Amino acid sequence: MMTVTPHRKAKALKPGSRRPAKELCSECGLCDTYYIHYVKEACAFINQQIAELETQAHGRSRNLDNEDDWYFGVSQEMIAARKQQPIEGAQWTGIVSTIACEMLNRNLVEGVVCVQNTKEDRFQPMPIIATTPEEVLAAKVNKPTLSPNLSVLEQIEQSGMKRLLVIGVGCQIQALRAVEKELGLEKLYVLGTPCVDNVSREGLQKFLETTSKSPDTVVHYEFMQDFRIHFKHQDGSIEKVPFFGLKTNQLKDVFAPSCMSCFDYVNSLADLVVGYMGAPFGWQWIVVRNDTGAEMLDLVREQLDTQPVMSKGDRKQAVQQSIPAYDKGVTLPMWAAKIMGVVIERIGPKGLEYARFSIDSHFTRNYLYLQRNHPEKLDSHVPQYAKNIVGQYELPE
């Protein structure tokens, strides 16, 4: 396992100092390396360039006449899947970890950039370059905090590795793609996960204490397709809290400004994306964006149960109603939130329509945040596909 160490050429910024992206910094880790020289071109929050980088990574950018491209990006294939034999302790069934282990076992890559946690704190991210399946498996389960994954980029040069798999989220992958040609690699594989609403470690603690009955025993959590947050605890029990029961008035400021300004929920620049929001409950949503992504998925297809993606329901009324509710910090009594959750679960959007609901809800919220807090960036920072999505709704002043 290779962890972060200082590089002799590094001009990294001191912890706590202001980053070039200022308050919009997502702490992706690029500025902790000498690759900070490229930050003005590479940072997703200084120079939004998804369309250009899509062409670089996939051979084309999104077709703006195709609504599915607005929402889900460039794709060759979308399926719902789950492992026939799940990995014990994985957040889902372990598809991401399985792909990474297969790539190491077959010598397709020499290392995997992934995120373990520190010994002191189960939620404190510790980026590593894993060189064994055991190190990969030690990184299973999402870390719901800002994570400096790219801080290990200098380690890649030092190691002499030429074939690498990087697992990351949208802001990290945009920066990675922007400096990809500087890494000296023969082959880069990028396995992405969808990402929304990360927090600082302190923000995570506030979220847990505000939302869970037992914050100190939470192992991991996820906002699920049944419109409930599922908290898994150390004893294996699952606590479910309705979305509509969140104490929005207390949590509006807990999410990182970078996440409130992000329009790459679906990780547009990864070769392969594995998440959940476009799949039925209990399944994972897989998006193959290019031939490299297809190669990665083919490594594990025989280990998966699969089914076609589906779409059911209409999200638009629910999204429109949620915009002013979030904006005003409306919080329902728990009994009302539970009833609303049950009703929406039965008649609300499912499959890809649930994914669109989630994207619409976050993009409208984030557009408003940017409009109010960084109006000078609104035109250049919001991609055209996101403008198309937001334009379907009426926003408050």
- Give per-residue pLDDT as tens, 230-266: 999 999 999 999 887 788 778 877 889 999 999 999 9
SS3 17: coil
Tell me what pLDDT residue 18 has.
Answer: 56
CB-CB contact of 244 with 227 (8 Å): yes
What does the alpha-carbon distance between residue 38 and residue 104 come to, in Å, rounded to a whole number?
A: 30
Provide the token pair at 284: 């994972």
Backbone angles phi, psi at 190, to 5 degrees: -125, 115
What does the alpha-carbon distance between residue 100 and residue 112 come to, in Å, rounded to a whole number?
A: 7
Tell me what pLDDT residue 326 has.
Answer: 78
10 Å Cβ neighbour count for 292? 18
Cα dihedral 276, 110, 186, 72 in deg (nearest 10): 0
Tell me what pLDDT residue 13 has.
Answer: 45
The alpha helices in the chain, defined as continuous H runs, are 39-42, 50-58, 67-72, 95-105, 133-137, 153-159, 170-179, 201-211, 248-251, 291-298, 316-327, 334-347, 352-373, 378-381, 384-390
CA distance to 89, 213, 216, 373, per residue, from 232 (Å): 10, 12, 11, 35
Residue 152 identity (one-letter amino acid): V
10 Å Cβ neighbour count for 239? 17
pTM score:
0.91
What does the alpha-carbon distance between residue 12 and residue 32 come to, in Å, rounded to a whole number?
A: 4
Residue 228 identity (one-letter amino acid): R
The residue ranges of the chain whose pLDDT is under 50 are 3-17
Residues in the chain: 397
SS3 164: strand
Tell me what pLDDT residue 143 has.
Answer: 83
167: Cβ–Cβ under 8 A, 6 or more apart, which residues? 96, 100, 112, 113, 114, 115, 149, 191, 192, 193
CA distance to 98, 99, 179, 193, 209, per residue, from 298 (Å): 12, 9, 27, 18, 41
Residue 27 identity (one-letter amino acid): E
CB-CB contact of 386 with 380 (8 Å): no
Q: Residue 326: exposed, middle, or buried by beta-carbon count in 10 A (0-12, 13-18, 19+)?
A: middle
Tell me what pLDDT residue 10 has.
Answer: 38
Compute CA 205 distance to the chain's CA centroid, rounded to the nearest angstrom.
19
Tell me what pLDDT residue 300 has.
Answer: 98
Tell me what pLDDT residue 1 has.
Answer: 59
Tell me what pLDDT residue 327 has.
Answer: 79
Beta bridge partners of 113: 129, 166
Tell me what pLDDT residue 226 has.
Answer: 82
